[in-house]
Chain A
Amino acid sequence: MKFIIAIIKPFKLDEVREALGALGVAGMTVSEVKGFGRQKGQTEIYRGAEYSTNMLPKVKIEIAASDALTPQIVETIQQIASTEAIGDGKIFVLELGSATRIRTGETGDTAL
């Protein structure tokens, strides 16, 4: 099993969710996050006082997936979430030790 963390641009979330749903991804966790990478921040000006925001809003998607499905998921997110501009985000894949469905106590791939 793999644990996939994808940081993407917020407006790409719906497209990504639809594409992953079509792949057969049964669930995901989404959070609104802030962070910085190579993309420059924004400048806000209030009555002449400038504030540069280094942290930009992004969406973080977390998916637990079977080993078999993982490459397709990564490829799909990469293709759908790309605008070919800096700030598109990153995808991380981690080894997942175990998964347990709380309701039934099932473990492993069947719990996903």
Chain B
Amino acid sequence: MIRKVLCGAAGLGTSLFAASAAFAQEVAAATTPAPEAVTTLIKAPSVEQMATMVNKGDTSWMLVSSALVLMMSVPALALFYGGLVRTKNMLSVLMQVFMIVAVASLVWVCWGYTMAFTSAGSAFPSIVGGFSKLGLMGVTGGTYAATFSNNVYLPEYAFVIFQMTFACITPALIVGAFAERIKFTPLMIFVVAWLTVVYFPIAHMVWYWAGPDFLIDTVVKDAAGNLVSQDAGYLWGKGALDFAGGTVVHINAGIAGLVGCLMIGKRVGFGKEATPPHSLTMTMIGASLLWVGWFGFNAGSNLEANGVTAVAFINTFVATAAAAISWAIVEQIHHGKPSMLGGATGAVAGLVAITPASGFAAPLTSIVLGLLVSPVCYLFVSKVKNALKYDDTLDVFGVHCIGGIVGALGTAIVAAPSLGGQGYFDYTVFPAVAVTPEGYDMVHQLWVQLQAVVLTLAWSGIGSAILFGGLKYTIGLRPTEEAEREGLDLSEHGERAYNY
């Protein structure tokens, strides 16, 4: 069987349907066969033609989604994390998340977008982009970005903004792993470097491709006779499915967090002093805002406002609900009491797991994925962490990395059309066609997903180790023991979160 270039799912877009509908009347009059309608699609449209393929509904949805994803970082993630640390470190966590968002957004505009979403001029175009759009050079209100549908385009700025919010939240996720024990300035330096050498290449490998109207012109046969695109990220070209960032965001950040917490070391008094959360109220508010914002993250990742967007939306809703329930049930069985923190943690684990699968699964398979992810993450945060004695303060590895892996592998299963999944689209033909239920090879897909997981773990793990090591042995990562005991709020920022 020829392995085709696979791509993220999405229905053929609204403009196609609109074009078909408009054409239908003429078709009826002229009794032309229906397939003629398809020929109205334009292969490799010019910028002028793209301008007519932009839908105001899509554009509005993407801008709203971008704002929702920003809300996931500030305040949602900041509050979720902040509530879990001790009072004396509350502001340090809020400040770290807040400033990472600020720093990452500038890095994204300056060199992030071009490194992630271009290929021209790159020495390794399947690994990382070139610098043709440095500082968003050439991007204007009149340039367009591809969606997953033939002849449907977004204003390029809308795509730049949406992806910017992902670059903002991913490094912010990492800080939970070594909360309560890192100096602020080295962390900011780490974030800039990590985005550059880890995040942008991974985003490029997983998400970059030529677009549905251009990919066909880049396809060649490789040595094995498979059709491969010469203009797509490495993992995209392999057919890895990652709808909204299970590998790029969660596994990527989760493993970086684990490496960070190992290299920075345990907190002073870890295992001896009690370090209970200072405000689970804030954690609940944060988790709830994450749930809401995640609709922008997952449903927005469809890049259009259509049926698949609604699929991603409902999947995100129910997988999260299922995971919150299953975490509470596990706690009820294990400790006799279901905790609020458990419910909130389960919800986040469910959100993480459904992220790569959101546009591929069906509601019922999403529920199964949600029910399964919480026990696995619970095992890691309550058993494995204690057994191995690493101080992942807020369980970034246990929830985001492990939940991300469950989701990435689970995507191969829930995407199967035989299970009600959306399958994927084959863009090596024009216009793109959906994979048939018989054509969907679950075992092969699982293998591809596993490769994506392993590559992300290795790239981010090694890259993060080098960056943390470099900082550790130069300017240092940890505050003094005295400063850490006093709390980072006072020692790093000169203020207190609460003055009663």
Query: Do A and B interact?
Result: yes
Whether the Cβ atoms of B382 and A47 lie closer than 8 Å is yes
Whether the Cβ atoms of B276 and A48 lie closer than 8 Å is no
CB neighbours of A94 from chain B (8 A): none
Q: Of the 9-residue stretches B70-78, B337-345, B481-489, which lies at the interface with chain A?
A: B337-345
* Interface, chain B (partner A; CB < 8 A): 274, 276-277, 335, 337, 339, 341-342, 345, 378, 381-383, 385-386, 395
CB neighbours of B345 from chain A (8 A): 47
Q: What is the CA–CA distance of A46 and B340 in the complex, to the nearest angstrom?
A: 10
Closest to A48 in B: B382
Whether the Cβ atoms of B383 and A46 lie closer than 8 Å is no
Closest to A51 in B: B274
CB neighbours of B339 from chain A (8 A): 45-46
In-complex Cβ contact of B386 among A44, A45, A48, A53 (8 A): A48
CB neighbours of A46 from chain B (8 A): 276-277, 339, 341
Whether the Cβ atoms of B386 and A47 lie closer than 8 Å is no
> Nearest Cβ distance between residue A45 and chain B, in whole angstroms?
5
User: Would you mind naming 7 contact pairs between A and B with Cβ atoms under 8 Å apart?
Assistant: A46-B276, A46-B339, A46-B341, A47-B342, A48-B378, A48-B382, A48-B385
Q: What is the CA–CA distance of A53 and B276 in the complex, to the nearest angstrom?
A: 11
A68 at the interface (CB under 8 A from B): no
Identify 11 new A-B residue pairs, CB closer than 8 A, beyond the known A48-B378, A48-B386: A44-B276, A45-B337, A46-B276, A46-B277, A46-B339, A46-B341, A47-B345, A48-B381, A48-B383, A51-B274, A51-B276
> Nearest Cβ distance between residue B20 and chain A, in whole angstroms?
52
Whether the Cβ atoms of A47 and B274 lie closer than 8 Å is no
CB neighbours of B277 from chain A (8 A): 46
A102 at the interface (CB under 8 A from B): no
CB neighbours of B395 from chain A (8 A): 47
A86 at the interface (CB under 8 A from B): no
CB neighbours of A45 from chain B (8 A): 335, 337, 339
Interface residue ranges of A42-69 to B (CB < 8 Å)? 44-49, 51, 53
Q: What is the CA–CA distance of A51 and B395 in the complex, to the nearest angstrom?
A: 17
Whether the Cβ atoms of B386 and A49 lie closer than 8 Å is yes
Interface residue ranges of A28-50 to B (CB < 8 Å)? 44-49
Whether the Cβ atoms of A47 and B383 lie closer than 8 Å is no
Closest to B385 in A: A48
CB neighbours of A48 from chain B (8 A): 378, 381-383, 385-386
CB neighbours of A47 from chain B (8 A): 341-342, 345, 381-382, 395
Closest to B327 in A: A47
Q: Which 3 A-B pairs have the closest CB atoms?
A: A48-B382, A51-B274, A47-B381
